[in-house]
Structures are given as structure tokens and as C-alpha cells.
Amino acid sequence: MKSMKFILIATLVFSISAILIAQNQIIGIDIEEVLTIEGLGESLIYQRCSVTTDYEGNIYITDLEDYSVKKFSNTGELIAVTGKRGDEPGEFQGPNIIRYYRGKIYVSEVYSPGIQVFDDDLNFKFKIPIPFTMIDFNVLYEDRIAISTLIKDRSETGFIFCIYFYDSKGNREKKEEEGEEGEEKKEEDDKIIYSTDKDFTMMNTVSFQEYRKNYFMITYDWKDKIDRYYKSGRLVWTRSLLDKKDAQTRKEGYSERSFGVYPVEAVYKAIALDKQGNLFILGGDLSENVSRDVYVLSKDNELITTFTLSEASRTIHIDRNNFLYSRSEDGKKLIKYAIEYIFE
């Protein structure tokens, strides 16, 4: 009974806070550390150590040191561990991005294509046979997954870089296109083309978040560019935050296994959405406080504020109760912050 009363009170407080936030303009954000988990496995350089949470606030991370996925309680207690190095179901060649959706945990890998799916007790359920490794992915609903990747997809003018849509069996989704008058409707891949280039280049990799079932918010890893797209693929707005600076690059001879040009600085490292639709963007090497500055954009594309994490981070995540999580650059520490909004 006491537990039920606590849940009702917490829900009421959160609802009142959401109403106040919606009715007032946010002019600033303070954060306070409320939980630290240390001693996590070390991540490989340039790879994304990831974190997600379920509806109860339990925390799930990928660990590249021992090829595992770990589950912690909302107070930081280790609850469950799964995985080891290998090719069998539930084993990994490098667990990478992790997402939670309705009782299931979705995990991509660094060196192996596809997405492994577990229940929230970390029991292996099945694998989605995506035919390539992913830069980022979002689970839109149980039978639809959005994926960003680098594959040599061409148009008449050069290479196109896209967010693709797959079902849970690994089939790329299609959409019907109107043909000329009198012609039958044509089917083509359902995708959002967010960039075009004459060269096949790493400079067009992105992180993205779905927003309220209608939009995708996209940040470029190596460019000072942030986009918002309708799901139909139409660009709503685009902007930069750092005077359109791009990452420094190094060049190598182009080959079938080489991109020719490689970025050596990250512009934006991760994005997250709070419950009001504000976009939190973790800056990288070009920010004043490297890998610590977080830029907050309103849903109307206005820069609300910038705040600074207590330690450099490689990723951020916001849970359904508006707690912010960051994970240190070496992957060994996870910090949970309470977000306090400052109103006009």
C-alpha cells in the first residue's frame, strides 16, 4: 500500500512539473549528480559505449571489455549480466548500441551485423538479421526499426546517406510511389535521405532520435549540423551551433577498404530528448568544454541554454522521468543526474 501511494505521489509530482514546464519558458538548466556507478568495463577507442533505461529506472549498459550486457537497479545495484565473446546466440563480437522498448533490450554490435534482442531479465530471445553493422538505431515499435549506417547506396548524382526502416525479420520496408499517369504504382525502399555526396565518406555518419512519432532529430558526428525531418523525408529545419565548423580529418589512399578521408575530431557525440521534446546534444572536440558541454534546443529550433557535465562523456541518455545519464569517455563510470529546469 505504501509503495502504491509513493508511485501515485511521484506520478502526480511529475505531471505537475510537466504542466509547469509546458506553460513557462525554460531559460536555464541545472544538473545534480544523484548516482554514480564505477568500475565498468573499458570501452574501445572510437566505439560508442551505450546506456538505456526501462520504465522502472533500471539501467542497462554494453561492456566492450568482457563482451557483455549488464543490468543495474535504479540505485546502482548489479542485477544481471549476459554475454561473452563468441558467435552463438546471446554472445557478442563487441556489444555496442543498446535500446529499451516495451520489455525488450535491443543490442547492436561493433564487428557483427544484426541486432540481438533480450527480455528485460537479459534472456536471449531472437536476432534481427540486419545485413550490415549500424552507426545508430531506434526501435519505433516492435516490428519497425530505424537504422543509420554507411552502405554504398547511389543515386543518379552520387552517393546518398539515409535512415532506413526494417521490420523485426530483417526485411527492408517499402513504400509505394506514384508513377506517371496510367502507370502502376512503384515500390521503393522506405528511407529518409539526409545527405548526398559525390564521394563515399565517413563524414556523413549521424546519430538520431525519433520525436513524437512524426519527426526525426539528426545530429552529424563529424559536421556542425543538426536536422529535423518529417517521417515522410521532408526537411523541416537545419542549423549549426559552432559556426559551421567541421572536424579535422586525415587522408589516406582510397581503396575498397578505405574511405580516403577520416575524421579525427567529433563535433557532436550523442543526442537525447527530454519529455517535453527539448533536444539535448552532447558536444565533442570543438566545444569549449570538450565532451562536457550539452546544448539544449527547443522543439522550435531555439537554443535554450548550454550546461556542462561534471566529467567528459561519450554518450548521454534521458529516461522517462527526466533523469540524465552520461558515461565517461573510457566507459568505466556512469553518472545519473537530476535535471532542474529554470523558468523565466
The more confident residue out of 25 and 79 is: 79
- Given a cut of 90, whether residue 73 has pLDDT beyond it is yes
Flag whether 260 is in a domain.
yes
Beta bridge partners of 104: 101, 119
Which residue from 37, 67, 41, 73 is spatially nearest to 54, judged by alpha carbons? 73
337: pLDDT confidence band, cut at 50, 70 and 90? very high
Read off the pLDDT of residues 118-164 as tens digits, 9 standing for 90 and up: 999 999 999 999 988 899 999 999 889 999 998 888 888 889 999 99
**Which amino acid does the sequence have at 194?**
Y
Read off the pLDDT of residues 172-228 as tens digits, 9 standing for 90 and up: 988 766 555 555 556 677 899 999 988 888 889 999 999 888 899 999 999 999 999
In this prediction, residues 70-85 reach a mean pLDDT of 95
Rounded Cα distance between 242 and 46, Å, is 22
Which residue from 135, 170, 174 is spatially nearest to 151, judged by alpha carbons? 135
pTM of the model: 0.87
In the 3-class helix/strand/coil scheme, how is 181-205 assigned residue by residue? CCCCCEEEECEEEEEEECCCCHHHC
Let me know if 112 is exposed, middle or buried by CB neighbors in 10 A (0-12, 13-18, 19+): middle
Beta bridge partners of 105: 100, 118
What is the number of domains present in the chain?
A: 1
Rounded Cα distance between 223 and 202, Å, is 11
Flag whether 11 is in a domain.
no
Flag whether 294 is in a domain.
yes
Do 208 and 138 contact (CB within 8 A), yes or no?
yes
- Given a cut of 90, whether residue 35 has pLDDT beyond it is yes
HSE-CB at 51 with a 13 A cutoff on CA atoms is: 32
Flag whether 177 is in a domain.
no
Which residue from 248, 252, 268 is spatially nearest to 260, judged by alpha carbons? 252
In this prediction, residues 13-31 reach a mean pLDDT of 67
Cell of 340: 532542474
Rounded Cα distance between 194 and 233, Å, is 8
Cell of 338: 537530476
Flag whether 243 is in a domain.
yes
Cell of 283: 558536444
Which residue from 277, 272, 266, 157 is spatially nearest to 221, judged by alpha carbons? 266
2: pLDDT confidence band, cut at 50, 70 and 90? very low
Tell me, what's the pLDDT at 152? 86
Query: Following CA atoms 269, 274, 277, 279 in sequence, which dihedral angle do they give, to the nearest 10 degrees?
Result: -20
Read off the pLDDT of residues 270-325 as tens digits, 9 standing for 90 and up: 999 999 899 999 999 999 999 999 999 998 899 999 999 999 999 999 999 999 99
Tell me, what's the pLDDT at 181? 56
Helix or strand or coil: residue 202? helix
HSE-CB at 277 with a 13 A cutoff on CA atoms is: 13
Flag whether 88 is in a domain.
yes
Angle at 230 between CA 227 and CA 235, to 5 degrees: 45
The percentage of the chain sitting over the pLDDT mark of 70, rounded to a whole number, equals 85
Which residue from 168, 166, 93, 173 is spatially nearest to 127, judged by alpha carbons? 168
Flag whether 16 is in a domain.
no
- Given a cut of 80, whether residue 6 has pLDDT beyond it is no
Question: What is the extent of the structural domain holding 72?
Answer: 26-169+186-343
Count of positions (residues) in the chain: 344
Rounded Cα distance between 110 and 147, Å, is 14
229: pLDDT confidence band, cut at 50, 70 and 90? very high
Which residue's entry shows cell 525488450? 104
How much is the mean pLDDT over the chain? 86
- Given a cut of 80, whether residue 52 has pLDDT beyond it is yes
| CATH code where residue 150 lies | 2.120.10.30
Rounded Cα distance between 242 and 219, Å, is 13
Read off the pLDDT of residues 237-270 as tens digits, 9 standing for 90 and up: 999 999 887 778 877 665 555 566 778 889 999 9
Edge-to-edge strands of the sheet including 26-38?
26-38, 333-343, 323-328, 313-318
Tell me, what's the pLDDT at 187? 65
Read off the pLDDT of residues 101-127 as tens digits, 9 standing for 90 and up: 999 999 999 888 999 999 999 999 999
Flag whether 100 is in a domain.
yes
Rounded Cα distance between 334 and 61, Å, is 9
